[in-house]
Amino acid sequence: MIDRSIKVQILTGSVIFILLAAYIYSAQAILSPIPVGLLLLFVISGIKDNPFAERLKIAIWGILIIWMFIRAQVIFFPFIVSFTLAYILDPVADFLVKHRFKRGLASIILVLLFCGLIVMFGFLMVPTLVQEINNLISSLPRLVDAVQIKVLENLPKVLHFLRIEETQFKKNLADTLPGGLQQLFNNLLKGLMSITSFVGQILNIIIIPVLTFYILKDFNSIRQWFLSLFTRRKRPRVSYYLWRINRIVGGYLRAQVIICTFVGIMTGLGLAFIARIQFAVLLGVLAGLLNFIPYIGLYVGLILTGLVAFLDPNPLFPLIKIVIVYAVVQGVEGAIIQPKIVGDRVGLHPVAVMFSVLFFAKFFGFWGLVIGVPSAAVVMFFIDEWKRKQALLEMIDERALKTK
């Protein structure tokens, strides 16, 4: 039988929940998630020693943080960039501290080195990239015509194989292909210009290196402060979760920086000296950036590079060389570099990787492409933890039944 006090609590909680839901529904036109979330947290705070209430608090806080991030991306942008840089550089700072450097001095050295690399990249690469972008813009009409000619030359064989009427298809293609290709390249150039503008904004924001220094200097203190938000009984578990998440997210991000740099440099060199096509530097940088998007980035970069090959009078041999360059670079990256750097820390199936990238990109745009894979890996980690706990509880129940 259920105790009378428990019945009263259940009835009271149900009434409060109904009244609260009715209030939120009636005031939905003037309320935002912040006051609603704070109101729910205030109500839930009165429930003590209830696991469901604790999980509900975490879920509400998570929803509020995500909502505020989406609504105020411009404000959070320098803090997110600074925290990400500090997070990536933290293991190097720990290494320097172990070799008798003070944490503040190690942080200054790393921030200055990073800023120096950015400035050096700007002086060495940005003028070439700007020149190649301008050349690509001037070459767009010729490239569109070359692609259209090659398509129309090889189209009859494909149409005959597919048993499609050639005359009507050519008419529709002639009407839509030039505009479609022009729109494709215009969107690509807009993206490239926005990336250039994005890098220029980072270089001009003084606050990011300053924030990075302070966050990197006090990174361990920030971690301890976060742990202090939890009770002593829960801190070991939270510390373990942080360690596992750090292995997944930190390992993935740091590895991707190294891998994308390698892919960008090697692809650019291969396109310049082996394939000998135009815009090799621009396409190398693009290949490195797109490599951050698993699977999808590779195919997008390969298709864009293949389209540029049509500027050559005989594009067949450049296309073969491009495929060889991409195959060699991706083969070395996949067989040698990635297993040694990333290992099995992410442990996601390729289908799960592609789904996570598309899913998070839908809701978070560019940042979703960056955080999609590690976020999905973290979710899978918590699912595995839940399954492990369920298996442990079932084993305990089975042993309890056997002892009776």
User: pLDDT tens-digit profile of 50-62?
Assistant: 666 777 777 777 7
Count of domains for the chain? 2
254 belongs to a structural domain = no
Residue 378 lies in a domain: yes
Which among 25, 40, 71 is the end of a domain? 71
Predicted model pTM: 0.68
Euclidean distance between CA atoms 144 and 87, whole angstroms: 44
Residue that finishes a domain, picked among 71, 98, 114: 71
Burial label, 14 (beta-carbon count in 10 A; 0-12, 13-18, 19+): exposed
Of residues 2, 220, 203, the one with CA closest to residue 115:
203
Which among 71, 87, 108 is the end of a domain? Answer: 71
pLDDT at 139: 77
Please give the Cα distance from 379 to 392 (Å, whole number). 20
Amino acid in the structure at residue 393: L
High-pLDDT (> 70) share of the chain, %: 72
Residue 97 placed within a domain: no
Per-residue pLDDT tens over the stretch 234-259: 888 888 888 888 888 888 888 888 88
Q: What tens digit of pLDDT does each residue of 65-110 get?
A: 777 777 776 677 788 888 888 988 998 999 999 988 899 999 999 9
Q: For residue 386, give its domain range.
A: 346-404
pLDDT class for 194, splitting at 50, 70, 90? low
Helix or strand or coil: residue 343? coil
Q: Is the pLDDT assigned to residue 2 strictly greater than 60?
A: no
Is residue 305 domain-resident? no
Q: Say if 137 falls within a structural domain.
A: no
Whether residue 165 is contained in a domain is answered as no
